[in-house]
Amino acid sequence: MEITYFAIIIGAIFVNNVVLAQFLGICPFLGVSSKVETSMGMGAAVTFVMALTAVVAWPLQQLLVAWHIEYMQTIVFILVIAALVQMVEIILKKMSPSLYQALGIFLPLITTNCAVLGVAILMIQKEFSLLQSVVYSISTALGFALALVIFAGIRERLDFEDVPKAFRGVPIALVSAGILAMAFMGFSGLV
C-alpha cells in the first residue's frame, strides 16, 4: 500500500508528534519553551536542520547499503547532523544575532537532539523515498515546532496564574506537558 503525502504530513504533525507521542526531543522542549519567540526560533532551526538531514541522510544511507556497511548508519548520521547544526549556527550568528543569543546553549544542543537523529533513522526504517523522507522530516519538525510554541504559550500564561508554591517552575511545566500530550492523543486514528 502506497502511503500518501497527506497521511505522512498529518501523521507526523499530529498523530505521531515527535515530542508528545514519541517522546523525542524532550530536552529542548522543556528548555526553550519559556518564551514563544524563542520557541519559534528553535522550531525554525530544527525544521531547517531536519530538512537538510533528510536530504543528506537518505543518499548516504543508499551508499551505506551499497557498500554493505549499514552498521555505520548511526555514526554517519550523527556526524552529518553535527556538521549541519554547525552550519546553521554560523548562519544564525551572521543573519540574526538576537535569535542566536536567545537560543544560547540550545542551538548547539540540536546536535544532540534525539528528535533529529530519530527522524533520520525512522525515515530509513519506514523505507520512504527521498521525497517522502523530506516531507516526513519537514512535517515532523513542524510538529515539533507546533508542540514547542503551544507549550511556550501555556508556560507564558502560567507565569500570570496563581500556581501553588510546590508546583511552580518545572513541576507545573511537566503537568502541562502531560495534559498537552493527552490532548494530542485525540488525533490518534486520524490517519
pLDDT of residue 1: 53
Query: How do residues 145-155 score in pLDDT, each as one tens digit?
Result: 999 999 999 99
- Residue 8 to residue 139: CA distance in whole angstroms: 8
Distance, CA of 115 to CA of 92 (rounded, Å): 21
Query: What's the rounded Cα separation, in Å, for the pair 181 and 176?
Result: 9
Q: Is the dihedral of CA 23, 28, 32, 37 positive or negative?
A: negative
Going by pLDDT thresholds of 50, 70 and 90, the confidence category of residue 191 is: confident
Nearest to 183 by CA among 162, 141, 140, 154: 154
Q: Over 60: is that where the pLDDT of 169 sits?
A: yes
**How far from the centroid of its chain's Cα atoms is residue 86's Cα?**
17
Residues 153-168: tens digit of each pLDDT:
999 999 899 999 999 9
pTM, whole model, 2 decimals? 0.89
* Tens of pLDDT, residues 117-145: 999 999 999 999 999 999 999 999 999 99
